Structure 1
Amino acid sequence: MLVVVCLVPSTASAQVSGGISGTLLDRSTRQPLPFANVLLLRLPDSTLAGNTQTADNGTFALVSVPLGHYVLRAEALGYQTTRRSITLNATTPVLRLGEWLAAPMVVQLDGVVVQGEKAVLVEDLDKKIINVDKDLNSVGGTAADVLQKVPSVAVDENGQVSLRGNASVTLYLDGKPAPSSLRLDQLPASRLETIEVITNPGARYSAQGAGGIINLVQKKQVKDSWNGEALVTVGTRDKYSASLNLGRKVGKFNFYSNVNGLNNEFRGSSALQQVAIAEGRTTGTDQTGRAVRHQVNKALRLGVDYAWRPEQTLTLTAEFYKNDLHQTNHFTTQLTRDTDPTIILQNQNPEVDDLYTMRVGSNYRHTWAAYPGRELTASATYTLDGGTVTTEQRVLDGPASYTRQARRQFLDVTIHLPSAQIDYVHPLDDKRRWGAGVKTDVMVTPGTAEYTVQPVPGAEFIRQEANSYRYHYQQVIPQAYGSYQQKNDHWDYQVGLRAEFTGLQARVLPMGSTNQRIFNLFPSATVARTLPHHEQRLQLSYSRRLNRPNFLQIVALPIYTDARNYMVGNPALRPEYVHVAELGHQVTWQHTTLNTTLFGRFANQAIQSLRTVDTLATRLSGQPDFITRTSYANLGRTASYGMEVSLTQPVTTWWKLIANGSFYRNQVASYTGSGTRANFTGTAYLLNTFSPTKTLAVQLSGNYRAPLVVPQGRLLAVYGVDVALRQRLFHDRAALTLRVSDLFDTRRQYTRLRAAGLTTNLQTKYETRVGYLGFTWFLGTSKPASSIDNQPKGDTGGFGG
């Protein structure tokens, strides 16, 4: 309140010169148009008197404008340029336009419709947006395939995402925390409208996620009458997917739905070499394997928007997802110990995951036409994750001492995730506004981990009490934030402060329990400057963030990945705290856009994964090999700092080029807790889009991730090339897409680890060279997704609190 009172006198003085404000919306959908350019041209010579960009909610403001006659012009990608005549005088020095509607770009020329198109990748200084439908290399693929296009993003064969070498990335689904069971490599790309990557979020975003936030925005049709699309895709070697998106807008109601299914089978291979010194003897494991992974996913999403007034909208959604995974690994294992005879085993490790997610949510949005920029949003969601995970380890052939028993672990999981939040934005005048919000996230997960042994083949599995557990985990995170933003000529300032309290309790019976109570403040600040010539913008931002240990990292619950390796949480693990700073520059001339970002990310109490030899388990096993244990620890400091560059360039009228890359120094603490490990690393991505005819589009892309150090070793380089083409058919009522991923079959994962008395070399290669053929039929009033006016609109759900 003191800040508001102190700033009131400046309001009166600012109005002497004048100002203009408003909200730019899509004419057909009434959705906000962010990042649009708003230009103020002086009459009669049309010289530039001022310019700005619309915010996320479509609002804009021009301040300190001299009195006079002007033309106000709005330019948004894929929309017709919109103009308004403006007069500012002593009687009306400040003009509030309210809602300003922009029409999609459609020009009729002798029966030919020319429509504006979205870019595959849209770069802004604080956000990167991938338009999934424009990425032909995502057809038949997953969200993990799409994310390979983002600068500094890497996705491994398990769907784990890292950003600038940091794997602590928070996933959102339609602006809300995603279910814990969500895996990017199992989420069909056909379900998504856009993917937003936010590298340095401000105070209105949750502080969780040291690497940043990835928001997955699902499709939502908003055109009048029935509309939608149906997609069927077939891939080589038993890969099938189908999806149906339907929507209907009737009066104040907009109904939308999505149903999709995926049935994929992937084959893979692996090679593992480990040497350990245990009990004073040197033991070696040389293992080769082959795997078959069969995944079946089903999803249903229903939603309705009700706008009982132009300024008020209520949204209700209900979603159900079913994920089934059957994976079988066959290994040939060669064991050696000093000069003892070599032992050769034939192993089989089957795994069955039977998981489900149910999610219901509501969202209320209230704006005021008389007060552009004022907005109130409130939402509540409840997510239920559940299911079972069964893993087994069998020895099919080998010495009698190995083949007597089969081991099985059965995990029964239930996770309750209620969440509620309220956000409010209030403009003080045309150039100042403040915002605030509160939010509470709750996670409750009771479950059991049952360990059983089969004495001989064909016998019943017998429960082992000493290795079976019951657990209960509860986490409550109340949060609140406040932010203040001010525009001054070509400057834009924003500061914010977020407060979060973390209270958790974890019990594992019969082992014990742990409790944590942590309160944190997270400041953030952004300063931006609009520069003359070629629509340039310079932005400096800072934020403090954290990485909370997840459930499996903190609960002392052994998870057996195979007969010789297990994972267990660390109850003493504490959050990792991160300072993030970015300096970005964006310049646009004609159709070319160049983004350059210098960044630094510095973490304390870094959470790292460590693999060691468990000497006690090795001794108790009574076998001539060794048992490894993977757990987590807070290991000193990590840092990554460097530069990202992204270029969007039309080479000719039929060839468009997107190139981006990063080069940075990655530094982590050594696994011993003293000293550091560092290397220069980076990523590169190149996308060529060709339009040889009016109905044919071809995309050729390639990506590269350089080697990356970790506390115990390094991850070697990963690279590949993809190609795709899309042919529109039947007067744009349908489209046929053909793509081949990893054309030269080069994508594979190499990991090299070193620890006290342990050396590990691991290579995994899943089936990545796959051919997909997809057929899309556009229903009702829909047209191919390449056109702006018929693009399905996603529901971001609103961030904050």
Structure 2
Amino acid sequence: MNYQVKSLATIGLRITGCLRGVGYLGWFSLVATGLLPGPLLAQGSGRVSGTLLDQRTRQPLPFANVLLLRRSDSTLVGNTQTAENGTFALTDLALGRYVVRAQALGYQPARRAATLDAVAPVVRLGEWLVAPSAVQLSGVVVQGEKAAMVNELGKTVLNVDKDLNSAGGTAADILQKVPSVAVDDNGQVSLRGNASVTLYLDGKPAPPNLRLDQLPASRLETIEVITNPGAQYAAQGTGGIINLVQKKQTQPGWNGDALATVGTREKYTGSLSGNRQVGKFNFSGTLDGLSNLFHGSSSLQQVATVDGRTTRTDQTGASTRLQTNHSLRLGVDYAFSDEQRVSLTAQYYAEKYRTMQDFATLLARDPTPAFLLRNQNTQADNLQGSRVSGTYRRTWAASPGRELTASASYYLDIGTVTTQQRVLDGPASYASNARQQFLDVTIQMPSMQVDYVHPLDEKRRWEAGVKTDALLTPGTSDYAVQATPGGDFVRRDTGSYRYTYRQLIPQAYGSYRHKAELWEYQAGLRVEFTGLAAQVLPTGTARQRILNLFPSVTVAPTLPHDQRLQLSYSRRVNRPNFLQVIPLPFYSDARNYVVGNVDLRPEYVHVVELAHQLTWHATTLNTTLFGRFASQSIQSLRTIDTLATRRSGQPDFITRTSYANFGHTASYGLEISLTQTVTKWWKLTANGSYYRNQIASYSGDGTRAGFTGTAYLLNQFSPTKTLALQLSGEYRAPLVVPQGRLLAMYGVDVALRQRLFGDRAALTLRVSDLFNTRRQYTQLAAEGLATDLQTKYETRVGYLGFSWFLGGHKATSNLEDQPRGDTGGLGG
């Protein structure tokens, strides 16, 4: 049965209860956003709006600066920045004669006259085409700077190049800086405490084996976090969507950059990217690679009771993790005309992942004496793949806003994963053999999509689309033992499997949007069918056929004084992945394994958000109340496998981790984000969340709940015109999970960038986790089992990077011309 939100009153009561725990700070923020005194805000009834487009490609120009100057004396009256769809609006203007000036990096400055009078106080410039040009204009560099982080209603955009802490890092490092996002030591991403997050790569679902710690930050242009997606997005992901957008140069002529970074204790990254625009063609390419060696340590204490006897495990260990990756990405764009454009992209990658864990285990089982084991676990991943995609885009000059987009993509990933467990020292019964699991994996992901937008007039439009996603992954899992030390591994039929998994998801959506004088709203409906078939020989099969409807609606009233208010609702789904469904055991070591559940069903969630944004001079304040209510919640459970423990014949125990649907979960609370330009050389970004996380108890006897939250503070300094400095810190409060809790985690990073040779180069120095405080503590409990796990990876690392910029692409500062915030339509 799907969990339904009974009424808005129920949601209101829950949010009210949460606000009681927020305290005076939360209430102050809410009051401040809505009740700032009128004299502090600009007054007037005039308005100027438009959409900035590339003159040749008719693509939107996001993050461009739009200035409003008084025509008589060129005095600056107001300014804003275009949203991602190129739209902008200057509001609350006094009547008079003005000049609107638009400037974007790589484009000629453009001007438009605008006269606001009593008869026509509103000027709509419509589509404003801007001509590309070289960046250098009469000795003056025109820079349209992007902020390090742009907070929109329901969406956060992180511009990776502007975050100095990205130097030498990976996508996992960067995501740690995004509000309410957490990445654990295994690369699992969660948003507002919800691990059901859908990863996109360049606007399309990412392959299941995408490793964030293997994706260099230098390859990324932006990271977009969408907390409550509308009907145009796939419904998968109850936590939201994170879209990783890779770099793609489109400036005229030759452009590009080269980057090399060296980190302490054998960490190296490098990348080379560029583009060449010739006539109607634009060719682009990126070559990058990394080789990172990390060290870590861990400790594990477990107490288990089986058949009336108690076993205590006290384990300490040290580990090394070597990651290597290289990738080549090529693309070509061709403009048939100003209204038609096609693009093709091909990418090849290869990854290697090596881990080695050496640990000592002290085992004590009543009433026998304690004894010591020395173990070694190794894992070797060898993966490679190719990705091909193409997109056709059609617009109509006679009908601004009308657009047809068709795209197709195909991912092929193949590889092997080998894990081994050895006993180096201990009783003879333990050292008799070594164990190996060999996985041979193939993943194919074809996808096709068509979207169409049709404006009815300036205020109304409808949008529709169809899409089909498929996933096919056949593979084998071979279990082998080594009868004698140094001998060959011999395959055993018991413990070896062959599996296939097929998933097909056809889907369609439609939405309608209407912008009235005081209200803007959008309503949509998405239909998705899930067809799933899995077979594991010889253990079992799974099959699902599910049709679902996913409604969404967004309402945004118009408020005075550069304020935005937005209320949104959507229904979403968390489909279990194939590792959670197929009954195939994966051994992390000789005593612990993970296995899927063929009876696992999708989890459904209702998401409600009330967001408010205030822009005033150099300050942008975002406040969001959110509620997330799930049914058939998918939970990960760790228990003692009593049967396997008896069969092992050893004086210890074996644990089993699997998945189940049970109970309802809920999280509701407050999220605040503040962007403040303190001085010309100091910019401050702060965000935090405080919410109540409620989950069903693993024993099924009630719920477990607690208040938790996150906090992030980023200081950006520019002591000189060519030097930028960043100091940041984050904190994640303890979080309850079905069987226990995750303890707090926190850390501080520092980085600086010096631009050199007339902005042709940049030198970046950064230190992550300056005080070496980031570590993960987990406490779990189940029937007859208590676990306390502490993990510490190498997080304090120094990086030194050098970048060289080619053509019109130059190094830019991080603090100049920062935006005040988005003023676009629904969701930016």
- SS class of match (2:298): strand
Q: CA 1:224 to 1:439, structure 2 compared with 1: closer, same or farther past 3 Å?
A: same
Q: Distance in 2 between matches of 1:264 and 1:392?
A: 22
Please give the TM-score of this superposition, normalised by the length of structure 2. Answer: 0.88
Tell me by how many angstroms 1:623 deviates: 0.4
Tell me by how many angstroms 1:106 deviates: 7.4
Q: Distance in 2 between matches of 1:583 and 1:283?
A: 51
Tell me by how many angstroms 1:744 deviates: 0.2
Q: Distance in 2 between matches of 1:87 and 1:383?
A: 53
Q: Distance in 1 between matches of 2:460 and 2:258?
A: 46
Q: Report Cα offsets for 1:319-341 as digits up to 9, x if no partner.
A: 11111001000010011101201
Alpha-carbon contact 2:145-2:817 (below 8 Å) kept = no
- SS class of match (1:724): strand
Q: Distance in 2 between matches of 1:537 and 1:790?
A: 22
- SS class of match (2:173): helix
Alpha-carbon contact 2:69-2:101 (below 8 Å) kept = no
Q: Distance in 1 between matches of 2:717 and 2:611?
A: 30
Q: Which residue of 2 aligns with 1:576?
A: 603
Q: Which residue of 2 aligns with 1:771?
A: 798
Q: Distance in 1 between matches of 2:415 and 2:246?
A: 24
**1:557 equivalent in alignment to 2:584:** yes
- SS class of match (2:174): helix
Q: Which residue of 1 aligns with 2:378?
A: 350
Among candidates 291, 300, 307, match of residue 272 of structure 1: 300
Q: Which residue of 1 aligns with 2:540?
A: 512
**1:692 equivalent in alignment to 2:719:** yes
Among candidates 386, 406, 411, match of residue 414 of structure 2: 386
Alpha-carbon contact 2:63-2:144 (below 8 Å) kept = no
Q: Which amino acid aligns with 1:117?
A: E
Q: CA 1:117 to 1:248, structure 2 compared with 1: closer, same or farther past 3 Å?
A: same
Tell me by how many angstroms 1:113 deviates: 3.8
Alpha-carbon contact 1:22-1:100 (below 8 Å) kept = no
Q: Which ranges of 4 or more aligned residues in structure 1 deviate by more than 2 Å?
A: 19-23, 26-31, 33-46, 50-63, 68-90, 93-109, 111-117, 785-791
Q: Distance in 1 between matches of 2:89 and 2:143?
A: 29
Q: Which amino acid aligns with 1:171?
A: L
Q: CA 1:682 to 1:623, structure 2 compared with 1: closer, same or farther past 3 Å?
A: same
Alpha-carbon contact 2:716-2:815 (below 8 Å) kept = no
Tell me by how many angstroms 1:83 deviates: 2.8
Q: CA 1:209 to 1:72, structure 2 compared with 1: closer, same or farther past 3 Å?
A: farther
Tell me by how many angstroms 1:34 deviates: 4.5
**1:219 equivalent in alignment to 2:253:** no
Tell me by how many angstroms 1:387 deviates: 0.2
Q: Report Cα offsets for 1:462-483 as digits up to 9, x if no partner.
A: 1110110000000000000000
Among candidates 441, 449, 454, match of residue 426 of structure 1: 454
Q: Which residue of 1 aligns with 2:633?
A: 606
Alpha-carbon contact 1:105-1:115 (below 8 Å) kept = no
Q: CA 1:181 to 1:540, structure 2 compared with 1: closer, same or farther past 3 Å?
A: same
Q: Which amino acid aligns with 2:201?
A: L
Aligned 1:118-137 pairs, distance under 5 A? 118-137=146-165
Q: CA 1:156 to 1:626, structure 2 compared with 1: closer, same or farther past 3 Å?
A: same
Tell me by how many angstroms 1:82 deviates: 4.4
**1:751 equivalent in alignment to 2:784:** no
Q: Which residue of 1 aligns with 2:169?
A: 141
Alpha-carbon contact 2:742-2:776 (below 8 Å) kept = yes
Q: Distance in 2 between matches of 1:727 and 1:76?
A: 25
- SS class of match (1:402): coil
Q: Which residue of 2 aligns with 1:588?
A: 615
Q: Distance in 2 between matches of 1:595 and 1:733?
A: 36
Q: CA 1:604 to 1:490, structure 2 compared with 1: closer, same or farther past 3 Å?
A: same
**1:651 equivalent in alignment to 2:657:** no
Alpha-carbon contact 1:499-1:521 (below 8 Å) kept = yes
Q: Which residue of 2 aligns with 1:320?
A: 348
Aligned residues: 769
Q: Which amino acid aligns with 1:754?
A: A
Among candidates 364, 377, 387, match of residue 336 of structure 1: 364
Tell me by how many angstroms 1:116 deviates: 4.0
**1:168 equivalent in alignment to 2:206:** no
Alpha-carbon contact 2:57-2:338 (below 8 Å) kept = no
Q: Report Cα offsets for 1:444-473 as digits up to 9, x if no partner.
A: 110000000111102211111011000000
Q: CA 1:736 to 1:35, structure 2 compared with 1: closer, same or farther past 3 Å?
A: closer
Among candidates 452, 455, 478, match of residue 480 of structure 2: 452
Aligned 1:93-108 pairs, distance under 5 A? 97-101=126-130
Q: Which amino acid aligns with 1:341?
A: P
Alpha-carbon contact 1:21-1:98 (below 8 Å) kept = no
Q: CA 1:77 to 1:705, structure 2 compared with 1: closer, same or farther past 3 Å?
A: farther
Q: Which residue of 2 aligns with 1:660?
A: 687
- SS class of match (1:636): coil
Q: Which amino acid aligns with 2:170?
A: T
Among candidates 74, 83, 95, match of residue 112 of structure 2: 83
Q: Which residue of 2 aligns with 1:287?
A: 315
Q: Distance in 2 between matches of 1:395 and 1:45?
A: 82
Q: Which residue of 2 aligns with 1:5?
A: none
Q: CA 1:662 to 1:96, structure 2 compared with 1: closer, same or farther past 3 Å?
A: closer
Tell me by how many angstroms 1:781 deviates: 2.4
Q: Which amino acid aligns with 1:644?
A: E
Q: Distance in 1 between matches of 2:666 and 2:110?
A: 45
Q: Distance in 2 between matches of 1:356 and 1:286?
A: 38
Q: Which amino acid aligns with 1:607?
A: I
- SS class of match (1:119): coil
Q: CA 1:62 to 1:130, structure 2 compared with 1: closer, same or farther past 3 Å?
A: closer
Tell me by how many angstroms 1:226 deviates: 1.2
Q: CA 1:613 to 1:576, structure 2 compared with 1: closer, same or farther past 3 Å?
A: same
Q: Distance in 2 between matches of 1:481 and 1:39?
A: 38
Among candidates 657, 664, 668, match of residue 637 of structure 1: 664
Q: Distance in 1 between matches of 2:622 and 2:134?
A: 26
Q: Report Cα offsets for 1:361-398 as digits up to 9, x if no partner.
A: 00011111111110000000000111000000000000
**1:476 equivalent in alignment to 2:482:** no
Q: CA 1:790 to 1:325, structure 2 compared with 1: closer, same or farther past 3 Å?
A: farther
Q: CA 1:461 to 1:779, structure 2 compared with 1: closer, same or farther past 3 Å?
A: same
Q: Which amino acid aligns with 1:231?
A: L
Higher alpha-carbon deviation: 233-242 or 33-42: 33-42
Q: Which amino acid aligns with 2:567?
A: L
Q: Distance in 2 between matches of 1:20 and 1:117?
A: 22
Q: Which amino acid aligns with 2:331?
A: G
**1:711 equivalent in alignment to 2:711:** no
**1:500 equivalent in alignment to 2:537:** no
Fraction of identical pairs, as percent: 70
Q: Distance in 2 between matches of 1:371 and 1:650?
A: 40
Aligned 1:197-208 pairs, distance under 5 A? 197-208=225-236
Tell me by how many angstroms 1:651 deviates: 1.1
Q: Distance in 2 between matches of 1:107 and 1:115?
A: 10
Q: CA 1:482 to 1:618, structure 2 compared with 1: closer, same or farther past 3 Å?
A: same
Tell me by how many angstroms 1:591 deviates: 1.6
* Structure 2 residues without counterparts, runs of 5 or longer: 1-46, 819-828
Q: Which residue of 2 aligns with 1:784?
A: 811
Q: Which residue of 1 aligns with 2:823?
A: none
Q: Which residue of 1 aligns with 2:43?
A: none
Q: Which amino acid aligns with 1:119?
A: A
Q: Which residue of 2 aligns with 1:9?
A: none
* Structure 1 residues without counterparts, runs of 5 or longer: 1-18, 792-801
**1:531 equivalent in alignment to 2:556:** no
Q: Report Cα offsets for 1:700-744 as digits up to 9, x if no partner.
A: 000000000000000000000000010111111111000000000
Among candidates 382, 392, 396, match of residue 364 of structure 1: 392
Q: Distance in 2 between matches of 1:28 and 1:685?
A: 40
Q: Distance in 2 between matches of 1:337 and 1:142?
A: 43
Q: Distance in 1 between matches of 2:568 and 2:223?
A: 22
Q: CA 1:597 to 1:730, structure 2 compared with 1: closer, same or farther past 3 Å?
A: same
